[in-house]
């Protein structure tokens, strides 16, 4: 997370999107979730949260939605509101906050935008109220909000297992470009898991070969050997996604696949993609973004100090 202090009582924090560079769905757990095995990478597409202290308890959220697609609810079930309640329950916080959320990450798109916003709220509350929460405590609160939330307290790249709570920080190459294409297709994560059934689950998982990824080309070669378990069913159900994938590959992407449970498709490019790509892949109401991978400050550790970064770092939208 990248923070800029506006005053002792207010700050701006950038919450990045993530892509699943691969995603395997494993066995179903006794708690109803599935175990997964995935490589998460944060990318330079940011929601921006302006958060201000209030003496009154509770949280108030104002939404500025700059994305196409469904309207985001800012009621009590919003992940930011749930994160606030989780922090209050854990720490005894009684003061409140006002949050202005500038939504740039497509909603319900497989990019983790809601989870990133929740993580940003936890980090901001820690900073504004000097709660001194460790990364482990933040992750515990975040996991109660959503499976992907703990990832955003780390360095921006991790092999992820369990239901999202087991993070193995990684150091794979970052020297490439990513094109994100999100068409206006509604995909239910729950239905995506149900559509896999027992026969669609990966078992056993194929470990990612860490020792083969010294260069970007080696990294890409290894990624090609592991896919996204949701993708086959989605490409069959939504032919538009298959067309996007074909266009990305035709434009020079080394690899193209779906992120999370979709519907965002992404292409990885060794060098900057062609400027005219947007006109090839975009349709009415679509979101298309060209981004780079980013490294994030590690929250709640010795790496998380000083002025706690600047929200403008790593391609975040400028004021």
* pLDDT tens by residue, 273-289: 987 776 666 667 788 99
Q: In 3-state terms, what secondary structure has residue 187? A: coil
| pLDDT, tens only, 137-195 | 999 999 999 999 999 999 999 999 888 889 999 999 999 999 999 998 877 666 666 66
Helices 79-91/113-128 angle, 10° precision: 40
What percent of the chain lies above the pLDDT cut of 90? 63
Radius of gyration of the chain (CA): 19
* CATH topology agreement for domains 2-169+296-312 and 177-291: no
Greatest mean pLDDT among 8-12, 223-227, 258-262, 306-310 lies in 8-12
- Compute the average pLDDT of residues 72-101: 95
pLDDT of residue 197: 60
If one compares 198 and 92, the residue with the highest pLDDT of the two is 92
If one compares 172 and 312, the residue with the highest pLDDT of the two is 172
List the catalytic residue out of 126, 148, 229, 245. Answer: 148
Confidence at 315, pLDDT banded by 50, 70, 90: very low
| pLDDT, tens only, 201-240 | 555 555 555 556 679 999 999 899 889 999 998 899 899 9
| pLDDT, tens only, 24-54 | 988 777 777 778 899 999 999 999 999 999 9
pLDDT of residue 304: 41
State yes or no: pLDDT of 64 exceeds 60: yes
Contacts of 190 (CB under 8 A, 6+ apart): none
Would the CA dihedral through 42, 210, 177, 249 be positive or negative? negative
In the chain, domain spans:
2-169+296-312, 177-291
List the catalytic residue out of 4, 18, 103, 245. Answer: 18
The answer to whether residue 205 is catalytic is no
pLDDT of residue 89: 97
Backbone φ and ψ of 290, nearest 5°: -105, 120
- Compute the average pLDDT of residues 127-135: 95
Q: Which two tokens stand for residue 174?
A: 């970052």
Pair type for strands 59-65 and 96-103: parallel
CATH number of the domain located at residue range(s) 177-291 in this protein: 3.30.70.890
Lowest mean pLDDT among 18-27, 69-78, 186-195: 186-195
Average pLDDT over the chain reads 86
The answer to whether residue 18 is catalytic is yes
Query: Does domain 2-169+296-312 bear CATH number 3.30.1150.10?
Result: no
Confidence at 258, pLDDT banded by 50, 70, 90: very high
pLDDT of residue 302: 38
pLDDT of residue 298: 87
State yes or no: pLDDT of 249 exceeds 50: yes
If one compares 196 and 309, the residue with the highest pLDDT of the two is 196
Confidence at 309, pLDDT banded by 50, 70, 90: very low
Contacts of 217 (CB under 8 A, 6+ apart): 270
Which of 230, 258, 232 has the alpha carbon at shortest distance from 244?
258
What does the DSSP 8-state code read for residue 314?
G
Contacts of 246 (CB under 8 A, 6+ apart): none
């Amino acid at each position: 997370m990248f923070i800029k202090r506006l005053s002792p009582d207010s700050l701006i924090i950038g919450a990045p999107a993530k892509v699943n560079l691969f995603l395997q769905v494993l066995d179903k757990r006794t708690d109803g979730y599935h175990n997964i095995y995935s490589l998460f990478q944060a990318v330079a597409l940011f929601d921006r949260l302006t958060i201000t202290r209030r003496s009154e308890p509770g949280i108030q959220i104002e939404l500025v939605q700059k994305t196409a697609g469904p309207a985001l609810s800012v009621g009590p079930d919003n992940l930011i509101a749930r994160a606030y309640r989780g922090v209050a329950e854990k720490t005894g916080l009684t003061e409140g906050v006002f949050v202005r959320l500038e939504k740039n990450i497509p909603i319900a798109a497989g990019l983790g935008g809601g989870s990133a916003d929740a993580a940003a709220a936890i980090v901001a509350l820690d900073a504004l109220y000097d709660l001194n929460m460790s990364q482990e405590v933040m992750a515990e609160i975040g996991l109660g909000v959503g499976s992907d939330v703990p990832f955003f307290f780390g360095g921006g790249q991790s092999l992820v297992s369990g239901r999202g709570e087991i993070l193995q920080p990684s150091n794979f190459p970052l020297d490439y470009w990513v094109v994100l294409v999100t068409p206006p297709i509604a995909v239910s994560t729950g239905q995506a898991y149900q559509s896999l059934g027992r026969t669609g689950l990966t078992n056993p998982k194929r470990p990612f070969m860490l020792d083969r990824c010294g260069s970007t080309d080696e990294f890409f070669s290894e990624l090609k050997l592991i896919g996204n378990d949701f993708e086959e069913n989605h490409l069959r159900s939504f032919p538009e996604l298959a067309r996007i994938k074909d266009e990305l590959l035709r434009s020079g992407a080394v690899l193209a696949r779906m992120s999370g449970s979709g519907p965002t498709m992404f292409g990885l490019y060794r060098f900057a993609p062609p400027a005219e790509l947007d006109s090839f892949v975009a349709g009415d109401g679509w979101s298309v973004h060209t981004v780079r991978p980013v490294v994030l400050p590690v929250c709640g550790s010795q790496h998380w100090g000083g002025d706690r970064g600047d929200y403008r770092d790593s391609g975040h939208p400028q004021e």
